[in-house]
Copies of this chain bind each other. A is one copy, B any other.
């Protein structure tokens, strides 16, 4: 019994910020802020650029709902940079209590999950904020992008993007509701290749999806979409295979934020997008706006993360995955 029913959690506002490559992708026109430039966001280091994206995302989400700092009781935020400094530095100018979270690329789902529990219990308005930046992340985990290293076919492209979500205990203006949440388990599938995150995360995603359908007694047909973020092409294929073995067929309504955000071949991103900012920007831009309009009635968002750092890979450890689920339902 692990699904938690969150009865007072409405996503009353949401905003997305992306960089240049993302603005040229298939969702380019849907983001609130899509920069077509050098992805520096006016800052002198990539780390500060990423922090600035978090600030812009939360500012935009607050502005869209005519809210200010005093309307928000708590921020939950995280990112991929060591010790989550993009979040701390990006959000420090807001006069709002701050809790850092870390779930690698599942951080967006994790922060929405925690915000929804807070909102339901404590009747607090929470802000969930997440980001990643291609240049800060690639330098930290692999190589500085200036090296122009060759990338393997299964590698994913870290998204330059950020998303902010305001979770409120009260419904206003047909806000999408978070009605259920389910935290994932760490699952180690034995993958040691840091350029194949999809394969590392797919087993954890399959575990969460199986647990959800078993406990809820629902089927994939109950949902308009089952959206993972971010398995990419490789990980999505593995997920579908793993679930098929358990008799669960999600092939009709499965989407993945990592394959949504880019034109995979035309934009040369190999297996698709990844990074905390991928699902953070895609869920806001592509999916939540449709839930708010009533075009999507019911969907599952399963954020997936690969729990590793550069040293754990160098020491030969395998890469465990984790996947957190939130159910999002229209309220009109």
* Interface residues of A, Cβ cutoff 8 Å to B: 1-2, 4, 45, 47-48, 73-74, 78, 80-85, 88-89, 91-92, 95-104, 110, 113-114, 117-118, 120-122, 124, 182-186, 188, 307-312, 315, 317, 320, 322, 324
Contact = CB atoms under 8 A, between A and B. Distances in A.
B117 A82 contact: no
A140 to B, nearest CB: 8
A183 to B, nearest CB: 4
Nearest to A96: B185
A97 B184 contact: yes
Nearest to A1: B73
A324 B117 CA distance: 18
A95 B100 CA distance: 24
A307 B188 contact: no
A45 B312 CA distance: 10
A41 to B, nearest CB: 16
A205 to B, nearest CB: 14
Contacts of A85: 307-309, 311-312, 317
Contacts of A47: 311-312, 315
Contacts of A98: 183-186, 322
Contacts of A104: 83
A92 B188 contact: yes
A45 B122 contact: no
A82 to B, nearest CB: 4
A44 to B, nearest CB: 9
B186 A91 contact: yes
B97 A100 contact: no
10 contacts: A4-B121, A4-B122, A78-B102, A88-B186, A89-B307, A89-B317, A99-B101, A99-B110, A99-B114, A121-B122
Complex A-B, nearest 5 residue pairs according to Cβ-Cβ distance, in ascending order: A121-B121, A97-B183, A88-B307, A100-B102, A82-B309
A308 B96 CA distance: 19
B309 A95 contact: no
Contacts of A110: 99-100
A78 B188 CA distance: 18
A94 to B, nearest CB: 8
A140 B82 CA distance: 10
Contacts of A117: 117-118, 121-122
Given A74-B183, A97-B182, 13 more contacts: A82-B310, A83-B104, A84-B307, A85-B311, A85-B312, A89-B312, A89-B317, A99-B101, A99-B103, A99-B110, A99-B113, A100-B322, A117-B118
Contacts of A186: 88, 91-92, 98
Contacts of A188: 92
A143 B87 CA distance: 26
A311 B82 contact: yes
Contact of A101 (B81, B97, B100): B100
